[in-house]
Amino acid sequence: MHKLYSNKLVIFSLVLPGLLTFLIAILAPIVLSVYYSLTDYSGLGAANFTGLANYAALVQDEVFWRALLNSVLLALGFICIQHPIAVLVAWKLDRLQGKAEGLLRCIYFLPNVISVAVIAYLWKFIYNPNFGLLQKVLELFGYEGSFNALGSGTAIWAVLVVLVWHGFGWGMLIYYTGIKNIDQVVYEAAALDGATSSQTFFRITLPMMKPVIKYNVTLAIISALKQMETVYLLTNGGPGNETQFMATYLYKQASGSYKYGYGNAISVVFIVICLAATVLMNKLFAERKEAV
């Protein structure tokens, strides 16, 4: 091996830009976050060291647990509603062939490229009980009341629908390419054996898709945890705190109530939870892989 390949200066210059952005935009804020989370800093004036008081308060904060629960609910929604449909659609789409295949794939993915700002405002209009699309559709089916989807009790489901609708194409596309990668020979062999199409799906397609499904499920959980923008613009956590997620809650605490220290404590716990979830998913799936 050439000595140039172990030239420290060259190596340093190659990784420096990457490390620098990491330091400035990721590591430094985390360190700062940890520091502020140990203070009663309001965002104004001086910060007093208060130890773990913010964390102690956090454990007892119902809204925080609600936010965490909402993330779990959202992840379940992705995994139990969005993904089964996405797998089935991807499978059917693959067998469709021709122009329709490309067109439909394009349509399914379309909402995904549109800005969440547009999506959130659009759905706010759709959900409006006075003139929204949903209300008009319900009236078409003979419904006489006014249905406020963003109201208490249904708001979290309304948010879920928007997120499932918006992200559907992404999940579908990953499954779709996963299915495309399955060797046609396998299907031909199955057809020769006289397998019906549902048998093919459950006995061949699904098992061969395992790695893709694992990836997609991990992605769903992480994105459920990280959810912020759509919720922020659609409900801002309301009504009450029914649709609060960790990111919207930390934003509300810091920017709404001058609880900057507390907001940072949420940030820190938020990061720990995301790290833990990722590590856990990797462990879980890695072990399975060995078992298979």
Partner 1 sequence: MAKAVQLDTGKAPGAGANQKGGTTTKLKNLFSLLVCGSLLASTLAGCSGSSTAQNNTAASGGDDAVTIKVFSNLTDRTSGQGLIEQTIFDAYMAENPNVTIEVEALDDESYKTKFKAYATGGNMPDLVNIWCSPSFLDEVVAAGTLEPLNADDYADYGFTEGSLDGVTYDGQIYGLPRNTDVLGFYYNKDMFEANGVEVPTTWDELLEVAQVFQDAGISPISMDGQDKWPLAHFINCMIGTVKGADTYATMVNSVQNSDYSDPVWNDTISAAAEQASLLFQPGFETTDYATSLNLFVNGQSAMFFMGSWEMSMAPDFEVGYFTMPDFDGDGEGVIGAYNGGGYAVSFSSAVKEEAIALLNYMFEPENWSNLSWKNGVCMSAQDSTQYLTGNETALQNDIINALNNASGITGMTYNDLGDSAYKTLPEDSTAEVLSGMISVDDFFANLQNG
Partner 2 sequence: MVGQEKKGFRISTLLLIVLAVIQLFPLIWLIDFSLVESDQLFTSGILVWPSPFRWVNYTRALFESNFLHYLFNSILINALAVILVVVFATMASFACTRMRWELSGFVSLLLMMGLMIPIHATLLPNYIIFSKIKILDTILALLIPYVAFSLPQGFFLTSSYMDSVPKELEEATVIDGCGVYRTLMIIVLPMMKASIATVSIMTYLNNWNEFVMAMTFLSSPDWKTLPFAVLEFTGQYSSDYAIQFAVMTLSALPAIVIYILLNKNITKGVAMGAVKG
The minimum distance between CB 237 and partner 1, in angstroms, equals: 10
Amino acid letter, residue 148? N
Is residue 268 within 8 A of residue 41, CB to CB? The reply is no
Residues 82-121, mask of contacts with partner 1 (x by CB under 8 A): ----------------------------------------
Instruction: Map the footprint of partner 1 across residues 35-74, applying CB under 8 A.
Output: 42-45
Strand partners, 49: 39
Chain centre distance of CA 38: 29
Q: Does 236 bind partner 2 (CB under 8 A)?
A: no
Is residue 79 left, alpha or beta, with left meaning phi > 0 and alpha meaning psi from -120 to 50? alpha
Rounded CA gap, 233 and 192, in Å?
54
Of positions 129, 195, 215, 226, contacts partner 1 by CB under 8 A: 129
Residues 78-117, mask of contacts with partner 2 (x by CB under 8 A): -------x---x--xx--x-----x-xxxxxxxx-xxxxx
Q: Does 130 bind partner 1 (CB under 8 A)?
A: yes
The minimum distance between CB 129 and partner 1, in angstroms, equals: 4
Nearer to partner 1, 139 or 287 (CB): 139
Residues 155-194, mask of contacts with partner 2 (x by CB under 8 A): ----------x--xxx--xx--xx--x-------------
- Cβ-proximal residues to 83 (8 Å cutoff; 6+ apart), any chain: 171, 175, 213, 216, 217, 220
Q: Does 154 bind partner 2 (CB under 8 A)?
A: no
Is residue 180 within 8 A of residue 203, CB to CB? The reply is no
Is residue 149 within 8 A of residue 124, CB to CB? The reply is no
Is residue 138 within 8 A of residue 147, CB to CB? The reply is yes
Cis peptide bond N-terminal to 239, omega within 30? yes
Query: Residues touching partner 2: how many (CB under 8 A)?
Result: 94
Nearer to partner 2, 155 or 227 (CB): 227
Residues interacting with partner 1, by CB under 8 A?
A: 42-45, 128-131, 145-146, 148, 150-152, 155, 235-236, 238-240, 251, 254-260
